[in-house]
Amino acid sequence: MEECNIVGIDLAKNVFQVHASDEIGRRLFSKKVSRGQLLKLMSSIKPCVVALEACASAHHWGRQIAKLGHEVKLIPPIYVKPFVKRQKNDAADAEAIVEAASRPTMRFVAVKSADQQAAGMAFKTRDLFVRQRTQLVNALRGHLAEHGVVAPQGIVHLKRLKAALSDETNELPTTVILHAELILDQISILQSQIETLEKEILAVSRKEELAKRLMTIPGIGPITAAALLAFAPDPATFQRGRDFSAWMGLTPRQHSSGGKERMGRTSKMGQRDLRRLLITGAMAVVRWAARNGAQEGSWLARMMDRKPKMLIAVALANRMGRIIWALMAHGGTYNSHRDTAQA
């Protein structure tokens, strides 16, 4: 077998497509490999660059292949798509991965460690349970509204529905009460599991020095700090804070041409979980400032005078992203007087 320069692997559940090329980009081989034979094949190839799409199981295979001495590079799928020629199939995808990896300006995703993925799973599990709890609460509100029992949105108003069910003067059918109690039992179980996960996440935030420093930024609490530790890549990956905000999709989308710059809404082309958490935290800061007043002369105070709250929250989340990068890259804590990181 000739010496490979780049090997591209199109990942799947059981059957993978492997495409290898030499230094001038000429194809050496392209073959299908079963899941059990992939590492055996990679061990027979001299150490080279191995490129994969940054999708499900990519970090696992990246760690396993790196142990064999290869240099693993993960590429966002959106950057591979332009290199696919005409037909969409596994062989074309694997070849496109090799083409994309050979570009000198290509951007890559860092391979996560098993501990990083484990921390991310704790956050994702909590997020799933919160969504399921919300679904159950909304379902209960909808069912009881059909019988004239109405409560506002939000988990805090669940006690109003419980009181209506336990009220002996209500005219609810027995079947409705029984089924509503089943939903309440499920909500109670999920609430207990969410609290357990939040205690676990809080313990991580209190233990990690970086998390403590991140929580000095207004709008960032234990959940967001733990999510940043789990999902944010090495700050050295980015040259400046704006690049980090762009990675989370918090910077404006550009529609520029002919020397004329046109900036649109936020791109939303990045890490959705962190973007959502930062905007939620920023909205909390904006609401607090609306009630108590922002620091006189600050950026937030100037924005509050002339912009709507949601726009301010997104802009503030963008600024928070830049401050987060500064703290992660250079150390220090947040200084509210300078509105920047103080080393």
Looking up tokens 């313990």, which residue turns up? 203
Residue 336 pLDDT greater than 90, yes or no: no
Identify whether residues 240 and 324 lie together within a single domain.
Answer: yes
Q: Which of 78, 101, 124 represents a domain boundary (last residue)? A: 101
**Tens digits of residue pLDDT in 279-328:** 999 999 999 998 888 888 888 888 988 889 999 999 999 999 999 999 99
266 in a structural domain = no
Token code pair at residue 9: 């692997």
**Tens digits of residue pLDDT in 114-149:** 888 888 888 899 999 999 999 999 999 999 999 888
127 in a structural domain = yes
Q: What is the mean pLDDT of residues 52-69?
A: 93
Identify whether residues 35 and 119 lie together within a single domain.
Answer: no
Identify whether residues 238 and 328 lie together within a single domain.
Answer: yes
* pLDDT number for residue 338: 58
In this structure, how many other beta carbons lie within 10 angstroms of the beta carbon of residue 293? 10
Identify whether residues 16 and 91 lie together within a single domain.
Answer: yes
202 in a structural domain = yes
pLDDT band at 172 (very low <50, low <70, confident <90, very high): confident
What element of type H or E holds 75? Answer: strand 71-75
* pLDDT number for residue 299: 86
Spatial CB neighbours of 24, under 8 Å, sequence gap ≥ 6: none
Identify whether residues 199 and 236 lie together within a single domain.
Answer: no
Identify whether residues 332 and 238 lie together within a single domain.
Answer: yes
318 in a structural domain = yes
Identify whether residues 97 and 120 lie together within a single domain.
Answer: no
3-state SS, residue 153 = coil
The number of folded domains in the chain is: 3
**Tens digits of residue pLDDT in 185-196:** 999 999 999 999
Question: For the domain that residue 92 is a member of, what is the CATH number?
Answer: 3.30.420.10
212 in a structural domain = no
Identify whether residues 304 and 234 lie together within a single domain.
Answer: yes
Identify whether residues 297 and 336 lie together within a single domain.
Answer: yes
Identify whether residues 29 and 121 lie together within a single domain.
Answer: no
Spatial CB neighbours of 245, under 8 Å, sequence gap ≥ 6: 251, 318, 321, 322, 325
Whether 252 and 265 have beta carbons less than 8 Å apart is answered as yes
285 in a structural domain = yes
In this structure, how many other beta carbons lie within 10 angstroms of the beta carbon of residue 136? 20
What's the domain range around 54?
6-101
Identify whether residues 71 and 165 lie together within a single domain.
Answer: no
Supply the pTM of this predicted model: 0.80
258 in a structural domain = no
Residue 18 φ then ψ, to 5°: -115, 130
Please name which of 262, 135, 152, 244 lies closest in space to residue 187, comparing C-alpha atoms: 135
Please name which of 75, 71, 80 lies closest in space to residue 50, comparing C-alpha atoms: 71
* pLDDT number for residue 168: 79
Identify whether residues 134 and 178 lie together within a single domain.
Answer: yes
Q: What is the mean pLDDT of residues 154-171?
A: 86
